A and B are shown apart, each in its own frame.
Chain A
Amino acid sequence: MAITASRGTRAVQKAGIRQRGAINSHSPAHRNDGRLAWILITPALVGFLVFVAFPTVRGIYLSFTDFTVLTPPKWTGLENITRLLGDQVFWSSLGVTVYFVLLSVVIGMTISVATAVVLHRLTSSTVVRGLIILPFLISGVVAATTWSWMLDSQLGVVNMLIEGLTGEPVMFLGSRAWAIPSIAMISVWKSMGYNAIIVFAGLQTIPPSIYEAGRIDGASEVQMFRRLTLPLLRPILAMVLVLTVIGSFQVFDIVAVTTKGGPANASNVLQMYIYDKAFGQFDFGYGATMSLALFAMLIIITFLQMRLMRASESDTN
């Protein structure tokens, strides 16, 4: 619609042209802006339409079909949803995923914020901050491979240490109880520094005078952290939290390399299950249904988080 207006189909859209003319007369430099603008955004617009908007709509459509890629999708209405509700593996996957998200978010956020705050007080050295983001630079596959070697139950260096202390090795990635905590730990190791740097940047925007005032009022370090630092950091913490939760819900590469969902589905996270259904069993319709369900959950969780963080922010002000 807007395209026709800027191309100027004279007779039909006289009003539109007069309006455009009004803008142009304002500054002659903008005379040919319309055409150029559409040329400049064409690649992005094509990318948006073809690889974001269309797949989103198609993904929602496929959720209600029986689709094996080889034959055209067949509309089955709510059948996939009914199937989802009764699918034990889906619910156990969801449970496993939520467990993973909770572990990695709670532990990850705690260590990231603690590290950022301590670093901020101690040193502004870029070298130290550089070193802690090293794990962010390598791929999940590299991180997972290295840690599965270090956590190996026979030769892994971590188990050497544990055996020295307790006399018994821990089956980190090979036992049902430890699989998810181990994967969460690898994930925290990989993302901690990145989050800490973002929080650190947020800390740098807080004017020191606020702390001076707090100190004059006799606030302790702990009080200042709770009453000044945390509320002032809230927007950044909210962003880091939301991104960590969204990212953690879609964890895949670490699981694929370390446990492949095992042992006995103990680490079969949702993304793994979706991949398995879609690409292992060519059950694309059902895979799309699960993706849609995960998307809906992410929207709700993100919305709740934003509400929660904003609500408590206005409390302190």
Chain B
Amino acid sequence: MTTTALGRPEAAPARAPRGRSLSRFGPGRALAWLYIGIVLLVTIFPFYWMLRTAFSNNYSLIRDPGSLLPVDFTWGAFARVLGIASPEQSLAEGGSGASIEILHFLVNSIVYATVSTLAIVFFSTIAAYAFARLRWKGRELMFSLFLAALMVPGILTLLPNFVLVKDLGLLNSFAGMILPGALFSAFNIFFLRQFMLGLSEEIEEAALIDGAGRLRVLFQITLPMTSGPIITLSILGFITAWNDYFWPLLVTSDDSVRPLTLALAVFKQSSPQASPDWAGLMAATLVAALPMLILFMVFGKRIVNSIGFTGLK
């Protein structure tokens, strides 16, 4: 380390034009790429392994567990989790008796994640507008009250919220799953308010002078200008809701409204301990992850920027 420190001053002027990049060739850069390569490999490999296992014959997996390619390629595992394989077919390919009505749970997950996301983003947006643009008594007080909620972690409210949902008679319903998180998000309100404060007020003032109502200004001028952060929060909210496990676990008691994450965990637990249907399990995880992977392919760049963006606030 000391040698590099001593050697650097002479090397520096030569590299100056390239700014912060390491010199194009050289051991340092090669090592850095090697590190990134390893990180990427560890990150991506499990996804490949899901794919490879899902297309394998579960019996044959035992014979050749280290093969990099699917062992005895088959669609059987997907047929099993989609419930379109006959019992004979399942047994022939090493499936267990356990199955999973995956399409039903997929629909549940879509309803849960979509409604939760739309509701919370909408209610946060209109509240943020009230805080950013309207002048009213009690504004500062309400805002600090809302911000204080950022300090309360889920752990404290989970059990009482379960009791509340139970008292309301909403256990095992979409309303019970969605409602507690659908109305209020301190982070969303804060994030959107900050953004709206940064928007120029002139256009809105002009519209108001022209006789447009406040609501019209909100929905036809402010909302479109805030679409960037609204989409950001929607994507992040959808990911969170789609992957949610603990809350749905608490409030659901049967398959009718259970989302896919939960069904997958049940499926994993009901798979026999001695010889689990790994191919079937991996096919199910792939189906569960698929919507996220599609979201990623469509919005990849946006998601990356969203995460960085929310971090900076």
Contact = CB atoms under 8 A, between A and B. Distances in A.
Tell me whether A and B are bound partners: yes
Nearest to B243: A139
A278 interface: yes
Contacts of B79: none
A126 B163 contact: no
Given A137-B296, A140-B243, A145-B281, A298 B137 contact: no
Contact of A205 (B123, B126, B242, B312): B312
B102 to A, nearest CB: 13
B46 to A, nearest CB: 5
A34 interface: yes
Given A43-B123, A44-B127, A126-B304, A138 B243 contact: yes
Given A131-B40, A137-B239, A59 B159 contact: yes
Contact of B289 (A119, A138, A201): A138
A305 to B, nearest CB: 14
B4 A141 contact: no
B218 to A, nearest CB: 8
B139 A208 contact: no
Nearest to B138: A2
Given A139-B242, A250-B154, A197 B304 contact: yes
Contacts of B261: 139, 141-142, 253
A308 B279 CA distance: 48
B264 A121 contact: no
Interface string B218-245: 0000000000000000000001001111
Interface stretch (A50-58, A75-83, A86-94, A101-109): A50-58
Given A140-B243, A239-B311, A40 B130 contact: yes
Given A36-B130, A205-B312, A51 B39 contact: no
Contact of B311 (A131, A240, A250): A240
Interface residues of A, number: 120
A2 B141 contact: yes
A212 interface: yes
Interface residues of B, number: 110
Contacts of B62: 155
A167 interface: no
A16 B137 contact: yes
B1 A51 contact: no
Contacts of B179: 51
Interface string B6-36: 0011001001100111100000110011011
Contact of B35 (A19, A114, A145, A215): A114
A285 B127 CA distance: 35
B107 interface: no
A6 B136 contact: yes
A23 B179 CA distance: 36
10 contacts: A2-B142, A20-B137, A43-B126, A46-B184, A48-B146, A62-B160, A137-B292, A218-B9, A220-B4, A222-B5
Given A126-B300, A134-B296, A146-B49, 12 more contacts: A2-B142, A20-B137, A36-B134, A45-B127, A118-B32, A137-B292, A142-B243, A146-B50, A157-B49, A193-B43, A252-B246, A295-B153
Interface of B: 1, 4-5, 8-9, 12, 15-16, 19-22, 28-29, 32-33, 35-36, 39-40, 42-44, 46-47, 49-50, 53, 61-62, 65-66, 123-124, 126-127, 129-131, 134-139, 141-142, 145-146, 149, 151-161, 163-164, 166, 179-184, 186, 189, 205, 208-209, 214-215, 239, 242-246, 249-250, 261-262, 264-265, 268, 278, 281-282, 285, 288-289, 292-293, 295-296, 300-301, 303-304, 307-312
Closest 7 CB pairs of A and B: A47-B183, A201-B308, A47-B184, A2-B138, A198-B311, A139-B243, A55-B160
